[in-house]
Amino acid sequence: MNRTELTAAIHAKNSFLCVGLDSDISKIPPHLFSFTDPVYEFNRQIIDATKDFCVAYKINTAFYESCGTQGWESLEKTLHYIPKDIFTIADAKRGDIGNTAQQYAKTFFETYPFDAVTLSPYMGEDSIRPFLEYKEKWAILLGLTSNAGAKDFEFLQTQSGGKVYEEVIAKCASWGTPDNMMFVIGATRAEMLTDIRHIIPNHYLLVPGVGAQGGSLEKTFEYGANGEVGLLVNSSRDIIFADAGKRFNKEARSKAHQLQKEMAGLMSKKQALSY
């Protein structure tokens, strides 16, 4: 999916919600274990319940890998079940030298045909470049993450006066374009989005951390939205594990709808202000 299509979907649905399928098998409602593939069945029902309110699904590969080959089968079936007009992200945070990076790009753009994959930039340009050579595919780079550990290295002051995450964002942005690259910016750092928007005014930002991790949707939008919105705000646990029993899909739908309504409100308020 290209940027024009993604932006159109956001405006058509009045939503920039990404639903995170961190489908931890140990948290799946017990009644689903009568199905041969409980994780897939869970995802299928979550997708049915939330697809009207979101523009993207993000599959966190860790929760599938930990189940071995069965997990990869659940991942594959889930990916193919997602409607074609919804953006798909493999949250895999890969990063390795060139010939290995090529294999990861093949994994997440061909073997499993996602629209986008998250990447760790630590190893530099040759670890990212192979992902940028695919047409209408996206590399989503870790910029400023939402976790406590972000302070360890991302916030290191560099000699040029900035912080490591700022240098990472600026340099990575020079390798691609806003049409094939996004950045992960945690919602728990929403107040930093203004400065980040000075570096990358036009890139889409994938924003985790709203909800369970304490980030604010309103602040994220206030400081992070650009003219075409330019945000995908992710919510995982708050939606998919809203209920631990048979009402899980209904509660997920309700949570997703609630977030979509908040997003629609923020979008229309901004549009009104711009007249």
Enumerate the active-site residues.
93
Q: How far is the CB of 20 from a second copy (least distance, A)?
A: 10
Measure the CA–CA gap between 111 and 217, rounded to whole angstroms: 34
- Residues 164, 155 contacting (CB under 8 angstroms): yes
Q: Which is nearer to a second copy, 48 or 133 (CB)?
A: 133
Q: Which is nearer to a second copy, 141 or 259 (CB)?
A: 141
- Interface residues toward a second copy, by CB under 8 A: 22, 24, 60, 62-63, 65-69, 72-73, 76, 91, 93-101, 103-104, 106-107, 110-112, 120-128, 142, 145-154, 156-160, 164, 167-168, 171
Helix, strand, or coil here: 155?
A: coil
Q: How far is the CB of 220 from a second copy (least distance, A)?
A: 17
Q: How far is the CB of 232 from a second copy (least distance, A)?
A: 17
Taking the alpha carbons of 84, 95, 139, 56 in that order, is the dihedral positive or negative?
positive
Q: Which is nearer to a second copy, 124 or 178 (CB)?
A: 124
Helix, strand, or coil here: 219?
A: helix
At position 76, the amino acid (one-letter code) is E
Taking CB atoms within 8 Å and a gap of at least 24, the contacts of 156-163 are none
Q: Which is nearer to a second copy, 45 or 146 (CB)?
A: 146
Q: How far is the CB of 102 from a second copy (least distance, A)?
A: 8
Which two tokens mark 159? 């000699």
Q: Which is nearer to a second copy, 146 or 180 (CB)?
A: 146
Residue 174 phi/psi, 5° resolution? -75, -15
Measure the CA–CA gap between 40 and 74, rounded to whole angstroms: 5
Residue 229: DSSP 8-state? B
Q: How far is the CB of 187 from a second copy (least distance, A)?
A: 13
Which two tokens mark 204? 């889409």
Measure the CA–CA gap between 65 and 144, rounded to whole angstroms: 25
- Residues 197, 223 contacting (CB under 8 angstroms): yes
